[in-house]
Structure 1
């Protein structure tokens, strides 16, 4: 089969690789009908996430048709079923899965010793996202082996396009969880840093959840326009002071809720802390650039909430923890518990409350994947979200 394969920093190729096979009785094989490039894939592309190996198949936003089912998964899946595959691999039976904390499944990471060394405990296995999360082949391919397939799937109906359903795999529930973690009230101003795909979903989720005002922060015109189309007020951080604008919008009190949809590769317009992070990163003294986190802590209203769906990979420096503590801020983070939200979000799609396909700007064949990684990373050609068709 053909698949997008990581060969090193900024080196992704469309290679011929062996077809996946059933390896365990709970496995299934799906024929991929649509997949996507995620913003967090760019962290792999630029090699900010450790434990990648040459030959790893990328991708964790995938859907398709079941073509083979292991003996222990046949009670839940059958050949011909149409499924979206969550990026988190879940056993469905461990203590964390029973509690709905699917992204920290205790059994699905087959390299749990690596995760435990890095994080203190294991987290869930993820598709196509380094050996720290299990070293599983990803779904930017013609076929995908799904471990624990009886639990790791979302059955979806016929008659709804792939484009409306595909993002149930990651960015829609990720944006939704980011907003839910804010405990939004009707009087709240919610500020969202980053108007990429996850930020766009967080903006719309905050609006659906009844926020009084949503403010979107970015510098890319196409992204800001997309946020405005949803009803958000926008701030271009290259031309305006984010802190001054947010304080002006909130009578000097700051937003009650702040969402970091940027993560470890935060950019800033010539600020001292951004230059500091760049220098520390170049000397391998810091892995992640936390400008957004610092700004959120500073501007958030006392007793407010910070929600962090943006991916962080390692160590950050100069975090104003004194401000965080003294202002009484709450931080809620985490990879997404996809299956916790999937039934509700599928219902909202079916009822027409939201059509997640709005975020797609490019649809290309799988073979153009390496080129589209660069287009997406460099924000060329108005690119916000890429869907690939194997």
Structure 2
């Protein structure tokens, strides 16, 4: 089959790799019809290469048609249309039964002290072949895949794999009171959905984003948008009676704009031999913290900062005095995709499309075009907000 593979820092290519096969009774094989490039894929593209081997298959936002199931899978049959959550969870361990599927005790990657295994996402998360491919082996298919109707465009359901529940969890964790104010930092795909979800829930939503096309996309949903500037925090505080928003979602993460020193550290770590680079990432503060520090400054006293963006450094400096003095709650973590399914499915199936699942994709291309689109997405060229790949389509 054809699959998008990692070949080096800022270098990916589509190669012919072996077809996946059933290895365990609870496996399924899925023929991928659509698979997206996630913002966190860009961390692999640029920063987290020391944890990837040349030839690893990337991607963790797929959906498609069931081709084959193992003997232990009774909830799916060939021909079913399914979305695949990005985290691999068993459904029956203590963590899964308590709504913490991203911490699944069956698939935890204990070698690295990490949570549940993820598709296409480094040795730290199991080095499981990903979904930017023509076919995907899905472990624990007796629980993970989400069966969806046979009709309707893929984009109506595709984002249930990651970014839609990630945004929903981010807003839920922000703990905004009824009729309150939510701020969203970053209007990439997760930030777009977080802002739309906030509006759907009746909040006033203020969003900061340097790219005009992304601000314009969010503004269509009643989001008040602001360019990134030196005084944007003060401006938003002024707009909220001098207190700041009730909750802030950081939808940016480790590669925020505006921190040249951390940016240099990230690039330098990526150029070291793998063992040295892993040590640097695991023991140093290599994240760009502009967004999370802005969130802490922005949120009102007694408010909540919700981190949906991915961070990777373990020695990042944090303003503990400010956190303590302002009595700020911080919540974060990988999304527990299956936990939010019952909340999201009615909205996804609503003909009015209240969250705009059909209004996010800006680029739909063949799998063969993926290497070029990684570069376009990373550089935010051509108005790129969300890329969906279509395996099997002509290049």
Q: TM-score, normalised by structure 2?
A: 0.92
What whole-Å deviation, never above 9, does each CA across 1:143-191 have from its counterpart, x for those lacking one?
0000001111100012221011100000011111101112222332111
List per-residue Cα deviations over 1:118-158 (Å, max 9, x = no partner). Answer: xxxx4101000001101100000000000001111100012
1:310 and 2:301 matched: no
Match of residue 262 from structure 2:
277
The separation in 2 between residues aligned to 1:347 and 1:316, in whole angstroms, is 41
Partner in structure 2 of residue 64 of structure 1: 64
Q: Once the two structures are superposed, what CA deviation does each residue of 1:56-78 show, in whole Å capped at 9, x if it has no partner?
A: 000000000000000001x1111
Residue number in structure 1 paired with 2:17:
17
Structure 2 counterpart of 1:40: 40
SS state at 1:36 partner: strand
Equivalent residues in 2 for 1:125-204, closer than 5 Å: 125-204=117-196
Please tell me whether residue 341 in structure 1 is matched to residue 340 in structure 2.
Answer: yes
How far apart, in 1, do the equivalents of 2:266 and 2:153 lie? 42
**Cα distance, 1:106 vs structure 2:** 0.9
Q: In 1, are the aligned partners of 2:47 and 2:266 still within 8 Å (CA)?
A: no
Q: Deviation per CA, 1:226-263: give whole Å up to 9, x if none.
A: 1111111111014x622121112112111111110000
Residue equivalent to 2:54: 54
1:8–1:47 CA contact under 8 A, matched in 2? no
Q: Judge which range, 76-85 or 312-321, deviates more.
A: 312-321
Aligned match of 1:262: 252
Q: Tell me the distance in 1 between the aligned counterparts of 2:129 and 2:264.
A: 34
Is the CA contact (8 Å cut-off) linking 1:91 and 1:151 kept in structure 2? Answer: yes
Give 1:286's aligned residue. 285
Q: Structure 1 50/314 Cα, relative in aligned 2: closer, same or farther at 3 Å?
A: farther
Q: Is the contact between residue 3 and residue 16 of structure 1 (CA under 8 Å) also seen in structure 2? A: yes
Please state if 1:295 is matched with 2:294. yes
1:90 equivalent in alignment to 2:89: yes
2:215 to 224, 234, 237: 224
Stretch deviating more after TM superposition (39-48 or 360-369) = 39-48
Equivalents in 2 of 1:315, 1:237: separation in Å? 27
The 3-state SS of whatever aligns with 2:51 is coil
Q: CA deviation at 1:192?
A: 0.4
* Unaligned runs of at least 5 residues, structure 2: 270-283
**Per-residue deviation, 1:357:** 2.2
1:357-368 equivalences in 2 (<5 Å)? 357-368=358-369
* Aligned equivalent of 1:113: 110
Conserved? CA contact 1:49–1:313, under 8 Å: no
CA distance 1:354–1:283, shift in 2 (3 Å): closer
In 2: Cα distance, 1:47 partner to 1:309 partner: 18
Contact 2:301 2:328 in 1 (8 A): yes
1:50 CA drift (Å)? 4.2
1:113, distance to aligned residue in structure 2 (A): 2.8
1:78 is aligned to 2:70: no
193-202 or 227-236, which deviates more: 227-236
Partner SS state of residue 79, structure 2: coil
Matches within 5 A, 1:205-224: 205-211=197-203, 213-224=204-215
Over 3 Å counting, the alpha-carbon distance change for 1:378 and 1:40 in structure 2 is same
Q: What is aligned with 1:271?
A: none
By how many angstroms is 1:318 displaced?
A: 3.0
Q: CA RMSD in A?
A: 1.4
1:388 matched residue in structure 2: 389
Instruction: Give the 3-state SS of the residue equivalent to 2:83 in structure 1.
Output: strand
Give the TM-score, by structure 1 length.
Answer: 0.93
Deviation at 1:220, TM superposition (A): 0.5
Report the number of matched residues.
375
CA contact (8 A) 1:185 1:210 kept: no
